[in-house]
Structure 1
Amino acid sequence: MDDPLSDEISGDMEIYDLRVTVDRIEGRSVCGMRTGDHFDLTESAHLSLPDGKHFCVYALASVLPFLAAKQRDLAAGDWLAQDSLFACPDPEERLIMRVSRTRRRRMNSADLT
């Protein structure tokens, strides 16, 4: 059966493309983001936003340290394999983001730094 997250490109390593989506805002949105706003992280380090959209740099900073790990296979018992929600540090906003794997991609490690 075909894996919808797979890509048939040749390479020596596999990583996942990710989508980081605003799952909910439990306070007031001081940065102007709304539920459903998102960015995509593809090909290891390519960050893209939908045209005309923005993503709060402070929300991005809070999830950024976890993205490299979420791009890779993790042990079943690893907490990061089980958790996909991350919070923006703004206490008034309480913005919660969900990190989802969108596609499994084969890449050549020699092409990355």
Structure 2
Amino acid sequence: MSDEPTVELYDLRVVVERIEGRSICGLSVGDHFDVSGTDEVRIPDGKHFCMYAMQAVFPMISAKQRPLAEHDWMACDAHATCPDPDERVVMRIERTALRRHRAADLM
């Protein structure tokens, strides 16, 4: 990538870790979606993911994609819960790969 400015970002996978209530939206343990770059979300073919559950995770995505200090709370916390109190879908954010991007491509 020569001398162009670059940014390191992690690809992420958001996985349904457990369901403590009843899954009204049809999610199951193990369902997931992937995030890469600054704007790409992928759901496996033939699957779905509840947009309200996604909404609960999205505020954390930008921080989880970046390298963080070892004891930064965002480095230590990887869970979010769907806002529906009857479902209590608990999701885990996993880092899957660290990629270097041209800064100009992310603007």
Q: Do they superpose with TM above 0.5?
A: yes
2:65 maps to: 71
Aligned match for 1:47, one of 33, 41, 54: 41
Q: Structure 1 residue runs of 4+, over 3 Å off?
A: none
How many residue pairs end up in the alignment?
Answer: 104
- Gaps of at least 5 residues in structure 1 are 1-9
Deviations 1:58-108, CA, capped at 9 Å, x for gaps: 000010010000000111121110011111111000000000000000001
- Gaps of at least 5 residues in structure 2 are none
Q: Tell me if the contact between 1:15 and 1:72 (Cα under 8 Å) persists in the aligned partners.
A: yes
1:6 maps to: none
What TM-score do the two structures reach when normalised by structure 2? 0.93
What TM-score do the two structures reach when normalised by structure 1? 0.88
**Residue 43 of structure 1: CA displacement?**
2.2
Mapped to 2, the partners of 1:101 and 1:89 lie a distance apart of 23
**Residue 54 of structure 1: CA displacement?**
0.5
2:17 maps to: 23
- Answering whether residue 107 of structure 2 is matched by residue 101 of structure 1, we say no
Cα-Cα RMSD: 1.0
Mapped to 1, the partners of 2:37 and 2:63 lie a distance apart of 14
Mapped to 2, the partners of 1:52 and 1:90 lie a distance apart of 24
| Partner SS for 2:75 | helix
